[in-house]
Structure 1
Amino acid sequence: MANRARQLHAVYLTSGSREPDKWAHLVREYASHSSLREAALVYARNLPRRTHHQPLLPVLLKAAVASRAEPGLGRSLHAEAVKSAFARDLLVGTTLVSMYCKCGALADARRAFDEMPERNVVTCNALLAGYAAAGDMDGALALFGGMPSWTSVTWATLIRGFAEKGDIAEARRWFEATPPGMRTVVTWTVVVHGYVAAGDMETARELFDRMPARNAFVWSSMVTGYFKAGDAEEARAVFDRIPARNLVNWNALIAGYAQIGCIEKALEAFHSMLEERVKPDEFTMASVLSACAQLGSLEQGKQMHEFINRKHIRKNHFVMNGLVDMYAKCGDLAYARYIFDIMRWRNTECWNSMISALASHGQSDEALRLFFQMERSEQKPNAITLLAVLGACTHGGFVDEGLRIFKKFHVYGVEARVEHYGCLVDLLGRAGKLKEAYEIVKNMPEEPNEVIWGALLGACRVHGDAEMSRWVSDEIHRLHSGRALSNDAEYIMLSNLMAASERWEQAEYVRRKMARHGIEKTPGCSSLEIDIPECQVYAGSRQ
């Protein structure tokens, strides 16, 4: 524990210890627990700059990468290496290059690389990975061409760079150019994952089937890819073929089911995983909490929270966000807020979960207050935040606040989308500002859809503005004239809008077309959780 390192530090200071080995041990203790600043201070103040302690610099630099330290701290360590005359050492220099690359300081990485008197293929691979991660494939190719030798890591890094940039054709070209002896399981995995990321599951499957050997990551990539393609059956079929399933594979299955709304299957997979004695981690629990939130089962959510505490699963921001979201969606808003308030660091997704929860529970005042608090924090609002806060303004009737927020979209660096305009139109429509809403819709940068016109039409009927209702109805009719409806939802939407504007003939015409195409409006379905001793029953009811 980091506390143990601090206790040792206090003892050494009190005793006035001058034993370098003790201070070196303390540096390693701090670094292993990501207490990088303390480690660097001990190193600078208490250790003589001599060759005996040279291996500590790579330890500190690797800790800087692992803790995602700011480049500034890495530069301080670099300066210390220069003072100690260790910066010219091959191991220290290579670690510096890697550290700068992983901190996103590519120019500093290149400078450290160029200043090294001696470099090997590992050093070159470290810089190549930096170019690839930054998407600078021209720089990567220039470096690749100048390397005296290549390894399998070199080829895999280059292919990954093109794949992650979205240039899968170039990634495939370099894969085919890879010498057979360099084409390892990692190289195969990189190109297969590239096709999965591009949504080309057919080609991904073709290469996957040709692989001479497979690792856990490529199996998980295929499972995730099929889920994203909407083919849950094939995702499960691939999962069932895995010869020795590990945590990464189970996480892919559970997350896939949770993301497509197959809640019962996600929870069943979680329990099967426990039965196979695979220990879950924070990513597993984030998916399980998401499933509980979608199910709306507070009891199951509480059980999972207790499980997290009992198994001492690390509460990173994925888990904390999941707890906030789960308690909010399951109706315990007070406890969701309690967890939110005790979080030491909140990312944008966490702010969004809490603001959305407050807005959906009718606490518009509090949602706005939290939004203004977020504006003052390190995290800035994104498109989802702004949609939630505009919804809060709509339900709370805060017209002026909503308009002010909408006018500040450029300040947040967010481009207003159709759904944001829909919220604004709904806000103005509910307040009776129908002409202002109509002008906003007419001047939208993109074509307004049926939802926006429908919101405005509903406001016209609520406020009894027959003339505006006719204008809006004409716009809806114009929107659909000359083009075929593309899906069942559009037929139902248009039929409802025509009926709402009392255009009964057009509404009947659309209904007849629906009947000819075999389209029916599906009745709504809700679920009720019934607490029965020793078991829980989820009963669906049609209404």
Structure 2
Amino acid sequence: MLHQLLLNPVPKPPPIPPSYRPLSPLNQFSYEETYRHICNLLLSLTHSRSLPKGLQLHAHILKSGLHTIPLVCHHLINFYSKTHLPLLSRQVFDETPEKTVTTWSSVISSFAQNELPWLAIEFFRRMLGSNFRPDDHIFPSATKSCAILGRHDAGQSIHCVAVKTGYDGDVFVGSSLVDMYAKCRAIWDARKMFNEMPERNVVSWSGMIYGYTQLGENEEALRLFRLALYENLDVNDFTFSSVIHVCSNSTLLELGKQIHGLCFKTSFDSSSFVGSSLISLYSKCGVIEGAYRIFDEVLVKNLGLWNAMLIACAQHTHTEKAFDLFKQMESAGVKPNFITFLGMLYACSHAGLVEKGQYYFELMKKYGIEPGDQHYASLVHLLARAGKLQDALSVIKEMPIEPTECVWGAFLTGCRIHGNTEMAAYAADRVFELSPVGSGLHVLLSNAYAAVGRYEDAAMARKMLRDQGVKKETGLSWVEEGNKVHTFAAGDTRHAKSKEIYQKLQELGEEMERAGYTADTSFVLRQVDVEEKNQTIRYHSERLAVAFGLITFPSDRPIRVMKNLRICGDCHTAIKFMSKCSGRVIIVRDNNRFHHFEDGKCSCGDYW
């Protein structure tokens, strides 16, 4: 709407209101000239976001009686919207004696753009009740509000209005509907709308790609992205961010690098939005140096970029760097949010820094941020992992919100590590009383029992899991080679290079034993004989993946292994010996954190 006002001449002014009295500094102009001049001034102040001057001009408008003119009101509403004062936009709207489609559009847009989506939808309803017909500017604001609220049902109602008024074929309205359905996870409705659109733009393409991304339909998201490039679509930073997110979640480093190159060619690499996604990509793929480089190269850093870098440092145990970044962020005047503190608690938890973690937990409250279940889970994990199980349990009991599955899971992890099965059983009883829970808690409890030889209790915990019809997630490890991902399960013999992989493990095993490695079979949580335990633990999926990397990759290339489950203690020890005996850098990402193995040492300091 704003660009139309800039391009089109200001319409002929209405009759002079009785209250009009020219005031300084505009008294040298006629009424018509004053009217046009004020509209141009409001546009200029809106672009510059100059609130003090805008308030002065608003006062002049009120004194001169020009606030009765709908177009002036529109400019005022838009001005307060762009200066993030939506309630003042509403006040201007309420005081406008003659409301038009333009003023309705302005106030609805103000609410949608300033995190008041419920008001945007309410005013859309009021507009329809006042017999005003929405246009191609109002529909996108209303659908955006539905997307923010996740109100698929309200979005469908607005879609019906668009069909009745003939705006469903408009490219802007159609694109906003696709985006709304995708963000509400109604992917089939989004795809149906997308397929029926006579014309598509970057918003419709980006909406579909994002929709498939958030549902984990990564292949379809990438297919659509390739198709968009094939059709010469000018993709934007949101499109790039969504596709990079796919590469990040799938740890497709090589493809991510190619898309990074495309971002560089189109100058989108300087976007803080894209930068955040690239930091996450390189971090999740084990290339923390690449994440640092992206962070340094983006000149304008928003909160999302700072958070992405903080979380990357936490994942890779660069704890002191995380503390330093937090101080830099505060010095730059960037106010931390709940994600920032989640990253700081995460960093403290993986380094065993109890006092530091408690400090950041209390600091969060000073910033006016109420801790959520994930913050409490991080604090409980920090205390429980450090052996302070009673303190962790006290935190759970004193939580102002109901403890969730992730909170109890953090506590159970600490109980398992420290062999306290009584407290683990107590925690299990509490959480199982609440509601059906996921497989993770059953497995944690079973492992806690098995670790101290209580195999009957462990079997009972697993039986509870089977009775719910839920299967334990299969442990997998994978390695990327060029454009192909090689996946391994424990004892896997299906790979084309299985013979060479097992031969390499045999040779390396003998060398590791000479270097002092002894298998710790306590991590085999089944009641079997010693020989079977030795055989079972020797061919865990991560070891097969490392062996594949050793026989496949050049000696100067780090071996990056990704896992969907936590690495076991014996494999952690074994891979330290593998790195020492082979002279290779081995990076393993489990479902908890990164482990950088080099010369027989791990970056986690054996604390994970």
Counterpart among 471, 474, 481 of residue 520 in structure 1? 471
Match for residue 73 of structure 2?
124
Three-state SS of the structure 2 residue aligned to 1:528 is: strand
| Superposed displacement of residue 487, structure 1 | 6.0
Report what 2:191 is aligned to.
236
**Quick one: distance in 2 between partners of 1:192 and 1:261?**
23
1:327 CA displacement? 2.1
Closer, same or farther: CA 472–230 of 1 in aligned 2, 3 Å: same
Name 2:485's counterpart in structure 1.
Answer: 538
Q: Assess if the C-alpha contact under 8 Å between 2:383 and 2:392 holds in 1.
A: yes
Aligned 1:473-484 pairs, distance under 5 A: 473-481=425-433, 483-484=434-435
* Cα pair distance change 1:471/1:316, threshold 3 Å: closer
- Structure 1 SS opposite 2:479: strand
Structure 1 position 95 matched with structure 2 position 40:
yes
1:266-415 alignment, distance < 5 Å? 266-313=221-268, 315-415=270-370
Q: Which residue of 2 aligns with 1:7?
A: none
Cα distance in 1 for residues equivalent to 2:475 and 2:186: 25
Output aligned runs, 1:103-182, within 5 Å.
103=49, 105=51, 107-108=55-56, 110-116=58-64, 118=66, 120-130=69-79, 134-136=86-88, 139-144=91-96, 146-147=97-98, 150-160=99-109, 164-167=116-119, 170-179=122-131, 182=133
- Residue 316 (structure 1) shift: 2.1
Q: Separation in 2 of the partners of 1:502 and 1:112?
A: 82
- Tell me the residue number matched to 2:563: none
Contact preservation (8 Å) 1:251, 1:283: yes
State the identity as a percent: 29
Give 2:167's match in structure 1, choosing from 183, 204, 213.
213
Maintained 8 Å contact 2:237/2:268: yes
Deviation at 1:358? 1.4
Kindly tell me: are residues 523 and 188 of structure 1, through their superposed partners in 2, closer, same or farther at Cα, counting changes over 3 Å? same
AA matched with 1:291: V
Deviations 1:216-264 (A, max 9, x none): 3322222222223323233222211111112222121222223333222
Deviation at 1:183, TM superposition (A): 3.9
Read off the aligned partner of 1:113 and give its amino acid letter: I
Secondary structure at the residue paired with 1:135? Answer: helix
Indicate the residue corresponding to 1:260 in structure 2: 215
Which region of structure 1 is more displaced relative to structure 2, 382-391 or 411-420?
A: 411-420
Deviations 1:381-404 (A, max 9, x none): 211111111111121222222222
2:327 match: secondary structure:
helix
Q: Equivalent residue for 1:184?
A: 135
- Report the Cα offset of residue 89 of structure 1: 2.4
1:417 to 372, 378, 403: 372
Which residue of 2 is the match for residue 485 of structure 1?
Answer: 436
Matches of 1:89 and 1:137, distance apart in 2: 22
User: Is 1:455 aligned to residue 400 of structure 2?
Assistant: no
CA distance in 1, matches of 2:340, 2:315: 13
TM-score where L is the length of structure 1: 0.73
Give the structure, 1 or 2, with the largest relative contact order (CA under 8 Å, sep 6 or more).
2
Answer 1 or 2: which has greater helix percent: 1
The change in CA–CA distance for 1:222 and 1:486 in structure 2 (over 3 A counts) is farther
CA distance in 1 between counterparts of 2:324 and 2:172 reads 43
1:175–1:191 Cα contact (<8 Å) kept? no
TM (norm. structure 2) is 0.66
Q: Matches of 1:478 and 1:331 in 2, distance apart?
A: 37
Given that 1:93 and 1:112 are in contact with CA atoms closer than 8 Å, whether structure 2 keeps it comes out as no
Number of aligned positions between the proteins: 453
Structure 2 residues without counterparts, runs of 5 or longer: 1-5, 8-23, 491-608
User: 2:582 is matched with which residue?
Assistant: none
Q: Deviations over 1:319-373 (max 9, x none)?
A: 2223322222222211221221233221111111111111111222222222232
Unaligned stretches of 5+ residues in structure 1: 1-57, 60-80
Alignment-derived partner of residue 401 in structure 2? 446
Distance change (3 Å), C-alpha of 1:189 and 1:310 = closer
How far is the alpha carbon of 1:83 from its aligned partner? 8.8
Question: Is the contact between residue 314 and residue 344 of structure 2 (CA under 8 Å) also seen in structure 1?
Answer: yes
What whole-Å deviation, never above 9, does each CA across 1:198-228 have from its counterpart, x for those lacking one? 4332443344242412333322222222223
Q: How far apart, in 1, do the equivalents of 2:374 and 2:445 lie?
A: 18
Further displaced range: 352-361 or 489-498: 489-498
Contact 2:121 2:145 in 1 (8 A): no
Separation of aligned partners in 2, 1:279 and 1:162: 29
C-alpha spacing 1:104/1:221, structure 2 compared with 1 (3 Å): farther
Measure the CA separation in 2 of the matches of 1:169 and 1:278. Answer: 31
